[in-house]
Amino acid sequence: MFVIIQKEVRSFLSSFIAYVVMLVFLIATGLFTWVLPDVNVFDMGYANLDTLFNMAPWLFIFLISAITMKSFSEEKKTGTIEIITTRPLSDMQIILGKYFAGLILVLFTILPTLVYFYTIIKLGAPEGNADTGAIMGSYLGLFFLSSCFVAIGLFASVISDNQIVSFIVSMFLCYLFYNLFDLIADFKLLGSLDSIVSSLGINAHYLSISRGVLDSRDLLYFIGFDVVFLYACKLVFGTRKW
């Protein structure tokens, strides 16, 4: 499995698109957090990173779909998937290798934003007057959210040998599971069931962790979500005919 992780990370970091995707993410979050009017830290007047954590999930829909789109699609198209499957690795080890590699690449992208965290602490009045618990909770929530998007991206990649199709399917599914349940609940058509519908979406649990409180229900949701999509990947991958 570690061989797969190393291969995926090296392959992605050796491609031009890797740095373009990461740069786009960092520039976009930087502009929203520090530059664009009405939403930047200075105009908000509070030492927090709410803008970053509000925008990051939407950017991750694009970013993670771009990272994962070739995980299986390119291998099937080029025929290298046959080489991988002849190694002494189970289907789940191959999938988990690609999954953890995707998470590592996402972490590479998130890490530079810790500079924003340091800056916020310095900008607080007095210095250090920032809700570090909520900020750390938001980073943890962002990690769990990205784990769901990576699992979705792998599923989208394993069902198609076309990277563009995988990219589009991944973005659609990420958007659906992140925001659609909230939209349905907002119509308030189901009365007391609206809160249950909202809890089916990723966003509700992401917001919960972002408050700085680690709830076991949120952890179970994210772990269960990842398991379901990774198992779906295994089922599709197991029916391969290439």
DSSP codes, 174-218: HHIIIIIHHHHHHT--SGGGHHHHHHTSHHHHHHHHHTT---HHH
Q: Which domain holds residue 154?
A: 2-238
The pLDDT of residue 69 is above 80: yes
The per-residue pLDDT for 84 is: 78
CA-to-CA distance for 119 and 92, rounded, in angstroms? 41
- Count of C-beta atoms within a 10 Å radius of residue 233: 27
Burial (CB < 10 A; 0-12, 13-18, 19+), residue 72, is buried
- Is the CB of residue 161 less than 8 Å from the CB of residue 183? no
The per-residue pLDDT for 128 is: 66
Sign of the C-alpha dihedral, residues 9, 12, 15, 18?
A: negative
- Region of poorest pLDDT, from 28-37, 122-131, 161-170: 122-131
The per-residue pLDDT for 241 is: 54
The per-residue pLDDT for 240 is: 64
The per-residue pLDDT for 96 is: 94
187-193 contacts, C-beta under 8 A, 24 or more apart: none
Burial (CB < 10 A; 0-12, 13-18, 19+), residue 166, is buried
Domain count, the chain: 1
Q: Give the mean model confidence (pLDDT) for residues 168-180.
A: 94
Q: Give the mean model confidence (pLDDT) for residues 125-152.
A: 87
